[in-house]
Structure 1
Amino acid sequence: MNSAQSLVDDRPVSVAHLFFSRVGATPGGEAYRYPVPAGDGTSGAERWHSLTWAQTAERVTTIAAGLLALGLRREERVAISSSTRVEWILADLGVMCAGAAATAVYPSTHADETVYILSDSGSRAIFVEDSEQLAKVVAHTDRLPELRHAILFDPDPEAPRVEGLEVLSLAELEARGARYLEEHPDAVERAVAAIEREHLATLIYTSGTTGRPKGVRLVHDCWSYQGVAQEVSGLLRPDDVQFLWLPLSHVFGKALISGQITTGHVLAVDGRIDRIITNLPAVRPTVMASAPRIFEKVYNGIAGRARAEGGAKYKIFLWAAKVARDYARAGQESTAAGGRRRIPPALAVQHAVADRLVYGKIRAAFGGNLRGSVSGSAALSPDIGYFFAGAGVHVFEGYGLTETSAACTVNPAEGYRVGTVGRPLPGTEVRIAQDGEVLLRGPGVMRGYHNLPEKTAEVLEGDGWFHTGDIGEMDADGFLRITDRKKDLFKTSGGKYVAPTEIEGRFKAVCPFVSNILVIGDGRNFCTALIALDETVVMPWAEENGLAGRSYADVVSSAQVHELIAGFVERVNNDLQRWQTIKKFSVLPRDLDIEHGELTPSLKVKRPVVEREYAEVVEAMYEGAREA
């Protein structure tokens, strides 16, 4: 047995054990950074405040004691509805150290679904970010007979109240916990000692595209495994500074907390999307996890600015982008063949020049200290991956699902392969079924769907193999490549199978104006596409191309934009089989978003929702069409 596997096998019993072990090892080390107002009255000014591991433990212990004082018992559920902030982490650790289980709720979830999740989970208490989140609960307490307490991160004396629901601030809960510890000094210690591997730690509800979401039961052993596996794989290191903006209600963000506790590195926490660009130079992270959409937006923004500047600058960018891709491919191909990294001398010279002119600025935008970024939740276009790799912004794609407590495979920091999601983490097994479906088995796999034994039996075999619903393949070196979602594959009326994700990825790689694209063609005689454009990129183009002063809706519906996008569609079609080509497309009047239910909180497109929303647009593309 190798040392990595031995460490995984000897993992701690629970997240709580993992946490207090970390506190004991490095009590004075910096654990978390989070933004607070500067305090000098300057509008918008902020500074970063820090918590050591010992300070974190003090707060977590009083929160856990406060929950015990409220009467929470082992495995009873406590919900958290908040954006990503340090209080989310403190509350989650407090819940688990009390022996209870956290129910994660996206703050963007509408009231009806929030109430469903709280009711289905049987949550007895809820942490809410502010009065807006509290209002969702207060309006429907008649449907939540088990909910008795709500704890506000942001105290508000005007917060809505209702009989039967105690509302208190986080500070008040901690004060109550401190008093409880005076009477029961070993209460939290005893609660932690009583936790077992298979005790429920977290319920995360999948973002259902049809029907109600399903609660995924993740036990303490799932998270303990994640923490140790991330460390031994080299994904996270003790000297890292990680910037975390991902939603903690999503399994990807949640899993990173276990890895951070295990390694003990610094975690800078701020979930405000509009502050990412500002925060990166301030935090100067060595590692950051992200969704592919962020890299696509960064790439589109860089390309869009270069295009707007025109002339020599745009030509330099196009040249540098090609050099970056060629450089990254050459390096990957040489190491994949088992040899050392070999770059043709002429390409190496070109790369050095491009680095001075272009790539250095890109790295600086990420803080200038980034050793790598982990990408997950959806596929990253290989062309965009090669671009960033060649520019020195290393993107390590990984793969996992809510049902597997996030990461199952991840690319190594050294020798990563663009276009794959890496190798299995130590302790995780991967198998490809006869129909191409990826099957997974390991400690991170869920213990079932909450209250849904029939649904559990559909995906989880008796011997532990989980059916992911993804289609993939493994190469001779054990690197996994995901080709599509099993349910997203469709067959044209001519009997040809089409993988829409592959076509969509190719389009995103060549078109700097696209935000989202949906390829359609199930049962049809040809493929079409719904295309949403990135406003921040297309509007500057419009200013330079005779559309100045027009609204976004007017711009995207113009003949000029249709002609622009048609050129990129043609480029993609040139490299596709005839039955895969996009024969017609429609540019949507607005981008897809979470608010309209078209994207999940992790920015995945909900295909059925979008197809229903734009059904008339789709039908119009097929009206009167002859067999293609």
Structure 2
Amino acid sequence: MTEVSKSKLKQYLVQQSLHSEESWWLSRLILGKVKKIFGNELKAIFTGSAPITRDVLHFFRIALDIPIMSGYGQTETTACGTTTHAGDLSFDTIGSPVATVEVKLIDVPHTKYRSEMNQGEICIRGPTIFKGYYNDEVKARETIDENGWLHTGDIGEWASDGALRIIDRTKHIFKLNQGVYIAPERLEDVYIRSPWITQIFIDGISTEATVVAIVIPDEDYVRKNFKSTQTTAFTDLCKEPELKQIILTDLICLAKDNKLKYFETVTNIYLHPHPFSMENGLLTITLKTRRMNVQKQFQPIINSLYSVKKVATNNL
């Protein structure tokens, strides 16, 4: 797309090939180079691990002209959960249960999610489900109930065609002072789309009305797009008020574009120069954020973000 942006003609042709249903021949002609990158022998693609954006999925379906299927599962389910079918061209579902498991939705306490409304926490049961955590029986019992159902911590919804859709997260929900519950991982999925950042941790406290964030900026992007910064230490760059404001503004724009509520919109951020990693204890072996560890390490900073916001508000 960087190459395409150099030419108005190329931009027009690519847009036509992606968005005109009548010009499938144009799509094959213009986007044929993408198919060649994969050797012209690719028969199908399977995507999992994290949600794929609508634009990326649409591009590859058109450019490659092959089935692209989405799957859902967890380490604890040995990946097996649900999968879309080869002919499914939807963008927001994760398909139906695979042959080895059962899937059900259960009520989520203190929220609007109810199974009778075809919404609730996703629970999975079957022979591919793990037996427990090594040397941690307590955590295993918290995850798998007495009937063998694994509680995933994800909130799903059954679509009209019987496919499952992920609509929220429950694992790390917290409550704000107006009584609303926040699922931070769902918000992080939105904010991580900012090109300015590489990692983000959303948090909040029960005495406040909005959320704040710990942000790890993308060093390469920052150095290319923020002043002349090649000789400046990245630690010093993260202290720049102007950079903080640029990133915060971009995050607020993302919140608006994705129709997030005011209490889901970040009102303050802290720029941290060092990425979360397994080495510093802030990522799991599967590269997921160790939320308790991050929260413990950054709690004083999170509290200060609210204090700074209050001072700024009082000065208006």
Query: TM-score category by the smaller chain?
Result: 0.7 to 0.9
Is residue 430–residue 440 contact of structure 1 (8 Å, CA) maintained in 2?
yes
Equivalents in 2 of 1:620, 1:323: separation in Å?
A: 49
| Residue matched to 2:197 | 514
Is residue 199–residue 217 contact of structure 2 (8 Å, CA) maintained in 1?
yes
Equivalents in 1 of 2:299, 2:262: separation in Å?
A: 24
Where in structure 2 are the equivalents of 1:187-226 lying within 5 Å?
none
1:549 counterpart = 2:221: no
Where in structure 2 are the equivalents of 1:605-620 lying within 5 Å?
605-620=289-304
1:525 counterpart = 2:209: yes
Question: What whole-Å deviation, never above 9, does each CA across 1:215-249 have from its counterpart, x for those lacking one?
Answer: xxxxxxxxxxxxxxxxxxxxxxxxxxxxxxxxxxx
Question: What whole-Å deviation, never above 9, does each CA across 1:285-340 have from its counterpart, x for those lacking one?
Answer: xxxxxxxxxxxxxxxxx6xxx3xx8x95298898789778x74xxxxxxxxxxxxx
1:601 counterpart = 2:285: yes
Question: What whole-Å deviation, never above 9, does each CA across 1:352-388 have from its counterpart, x for those lacking one?
Answer: 39x73xx555555555544444333333444544454
Where in structure 2 are the equivalents of 1:586-597 lying within 5 Å?
586-597=270-281
The CA deviation at 1:390 is: 4.6
Is residue 239–residue 271 contact of structure 2 (8 Å, CA) maintained in 1?
yes
Equivalents in 1 of 2:10, 2:242: separation in Å?
A: 24
Q: Could you say what secondary structure the match of 2:221 adopts?
A: helix
The one of 431, 455, 460 equivalent to 2:144 is 460
Q: Could you say what secondary structure the match of 1:572 adopts?
A: helix
| Residue matched to 1:352 | 27
Question: What whole-Å deviation, never above 9, does each CA across 1:44-94 have from its counterpart, x for those lacking one?
Answer: xxxxxxxxxxxxxxxxxxxxxxxxxxxxxxxxxxxxxxxxxxxxxxxxxxx
The CA deviation at 1:495 is: 0.8
Question: What whole-Å deviation, never above 9, does each CA across 1:108-154 have from its counterpart, x for those lacking one?
Answer: xxxxxxxxxxxxxxxxxxxxxxxxxxxxxxxxxxxxxxxxxxxxxxx
Is residue 190–residue 255 contact of structure 2 (8 Å, CA) maintained in 1?
no
Task: In structure 2, give the amino acid aligned to 1:407.
Answer: C
Equivalents in 2 of 1:418, 1:376: separation in Å?
A: 13
Is residue 459–residue 467 contact of structure 1 (8 Å, CA) maintained in 2?
yes
Q: Could you say what secondary structure the match of 1:618 adopts?
A: helix
1:566 counterpart = 2:240: no
Task: In structure 2, give the amino acid aligned to 1:497.
Answer: Y
Equivalents in 2 of 1:609, 1:418: separation in Å?
A: 34
Equivalents in 1 of 2:244, 2:59: separation in Å?
A: 27
1:482 counterpart = 2:175: no
Equivalents in 2 of 1:606, 1:316: separation in Å?
A: 47
Question: What whole-Å deviation, never above 9, does each CA across 1:403-436 have from its counterpart, x for those lacking one?
Answer: 2222211222331533332221113111000221
| Residue matched to 1:432 | 105
| Residue matched to 1:405 | 78
The CA deviation at 1:622 is: 0.8
Equivalents in 2 of 1:394, 1:534: separation in Å?
A: 33
Structure whose residues are more often helix by fraction: 1
**Are the structure 2 counterparts of residues 600 and 386 from structure 1 closer, same or farther at C-alpha, using a change threshold of 3 Å?**
farther
Q: Pick which of 382-391 and 588-597 moved more.
A: 382-391
Task: In structure 2, give the amino acid aligned to 1:547.
Answer: T
The CA deviation at 1:585 is: 1.6
| Residue matched to 1:491 | 175
Task: In structure 2, give the amino acid aligned to 1:470.
Answer: D
The one of 372, 376, 387 equivalent to 2:48 is 376
Identical columns (%): 28
Equivalents in 2 of 1:323, 1:610: separation in Å?
A: 45
Q: Could you say what secondary structure the match of 2:243 adopts?
A: helix
| Residue matched to 1:472 | 156
Q: Could you say what secondary structure the match of 2:81 adopts?
A: strand
The CA deviation at 1:571 is: 1.3
| Residue matched to 2:260 | 576
Question: What whole-Å deviation, never above 9, does each CA across 1:575-598 have from its counterpart, x for those lacking one?
Answer: 221221111122221222222122
Equivalents in 2 of 1:319, 1:559: separation in Å?
A: 39
**Are the structure 2 counterparts of residues 447 and 437 from structure 1 closer, same or farther at C-alpha, using a change threshold of 3 Å?**
same
Equivalents in 2 of 1:316, 1:621: separation in Å?
A: 47
The CA deviation at 1:460 is: 2.9
| Residue matched to 1:419 | 92
Equivalents in 2 of 1:481, 1:565: separation in Å?
A: 30
Is residue 375–residue 397 contact of structure 1 (8 Å, CA) maintained in 2?
yes
**Are the structure 2 counterparts of residues 576 and 458 from structure 1 closer, same or farther at C-alpha, using a change threshold of 3 Å?**
closer
| Residue matched to 2:111 | none
**Are the structure 2 counterparts of residues 613 and 549 from structure 1 closer, same or farther at C-alpha, using a change threshold of 3 Å?**
same
Name which one, 1 or 2, has greater alpha-carbon Rg: 1
Where in structure 2 are the equivalents of 1:39-438 lying within 5 Å?
306=2, 312-313=5-6, 327=19, 344-345=21-22, 348=23, 352=27, 356=30, 359=31, 363=35, 369-392=41-64, 396-435=69-108, 436-438=120-122
| Residue matched to 1:500 | 184
Q: Could you say what secondary structure the match of 1:483 adopts?
A: strand
**Are the structure 2 counterparts of residues 469 and 505 from structure 1 closer, same or farther at C-alpha, using a change threshold of 3 Å?**
closer
1:623 counterpart = 2:312: no
RMSD of the TM alignment (CA)?
Answer: 3.5
Task: In structure 1, give the amino acid aligned to 2:192.
Answer: K
Q: Could you say what secondary structure the match of 1:623 adopts?
A: helix
**Are the structure 2 counterparts of residues 600 and 379 from structure 1 closer, same or farther at C-alpha, using a change threshold of 3 Å?**
farther
Task: In structure 2, give the amino acid aligned to 1:430.
Answer: V
Task: In structure 2, give the amino acid aligned to 1:352.
Answer: S
The CA deviation at 1:441 is: 1.5
Task: In structure 1, give the amino acid aligned to 2:304.
Answer: A
Is residue 380–residue 419 contact of structure 1 (8 Å, CA) maintained in 2?
no
The answer for unaligned runs of 5 or more in structure 1 is 1-301, 328-342
**Are the structure 2 counterparts of residues 446 and 538 from structure 1 closer, same or farther at C-alpha, using a change threshold of 3 Å?**
same
The CA deviation at 1:605 is: 1.7
Task: In structure 1, give the amino acid aligned to 2:102.
Answer: E
Is residue 378–residue 604 contact of structure 1 (8 Å, CA) maintained in 2?
no
Equivalents in 2 of 1:539, 1:532: separation in Å?
A: 14
Equivalents in 2 of 1:404, 1:580: separation in Å?
A: 30
Equivalents in 1 of 2:245, 2:11: separation in Å?
A: 21
Q: What TM-score, normalized to structure 2? A: 0.77
The answer for unaligned runs of 5 or more in structure 2 is 109-119
